[in-house]
Chains A and B, each alone.
Chain A
Amino acid sequence: MSWVAAAPAVRSPGEPGDVFDEEADEVLLARREWRSHMRRRVQEGYRDGVDAGKAAALQQGFNQGFKEGAGVVLNYGLLRGTLSALLSWCHLHGDNSTLISAIYDLLNALGQCEEYVLTHLKSVTPQPQVGDLLDSFEDMGLCHAVPAEEKVDQAQDERLCGTNADLNKNCGKSTPGTDGPQAHAHLEKPSITWILEQTTNLVKQLGVSADVLQHLRQL
Chain B
Amino acid sequence: MAGSQDMFDAIVMADERFHGEGFQEGYEEGSSLGILEGRQYGTEHGARIASEIGCYQGFALAWKCLLHSSAGEKDSRKMKVVEALIGMIEKFPYDDPTYDKLHEDLDKIRGKFKQVCSSFSLGNARVEPERSP
Contact = CB atoms under 8 A, between A and B. Distances in A.
Interface of A: 38, 41-89, 91-92, 104, 107-108, 111, 114-115, 118, 121-122, 125-126, 160, 208-209, 211-216
A15 B45 CA distance: 77
Contact of B126 (A53, A78, A84): A84
B59 A54 contact: no
Contact of B22 (A49, A74, A81, A111): A49
A192 to B, nearest CB: 12
Contacts of B95: 66-67, 70-71, 74
B72 to A, nearest CB: 12
22 contacts: A38-B14, A45-B24, A46-B29, A50-B33, A52-B30, A53-B28, A53-B30, A56-B31, A58-B37, A65-B46, A67-B95, A68-B46, A69-B45, A70-B94, A71-B46, A72-B47, A79-B54, A84-B59, A89-B63, A115-B131, A209-B69, A212-B66
B50 interface: yes
A91 B124 contact: yes
Per DSSP, chain A at the interface is: helix
Interface of B: 14-15, 18-47, 49-63, 65-66, 68-69, 94-98, 120-122, 124-129, 131-133
A84 to B, nearest CB: 4
Nearest to B124: A91
Given A46-B25, A51-B30, A62-B38, 6 more contacts: A45-B22, A55-B34, A61-B36, A67-B97, A70-B47, A78-B58
A86 B69 CA distance: 14
A163 B121 CA distance: 39
A43 B22 contact: yes
B42 A69 contact: yes
Contacts of B65: 209, 211-212, 214
Contact of A61 (B27, B42, B69): B42
A86 B62 contact: yes
A153 B27 CA distance: 21
Given A70-B50, A212-B65, A61 B58 contact: no
Given A50-B29, A57-B35, A77 B42 contact: no
B53 A107 contact: no
A131 B110 CA distance: 47
Given A49-B26, A49-B29, A49-B30, A65 B42 contact: yes
Nearest to A111: B132
Nearest to A212: B65
B50 A73 contact: yes
A83 B61 CA distance: 11
B19 A75 contact: no
Residue of B24, B27, B37, B60 with most chain A CB atoms under a 10 A cut-off: B27
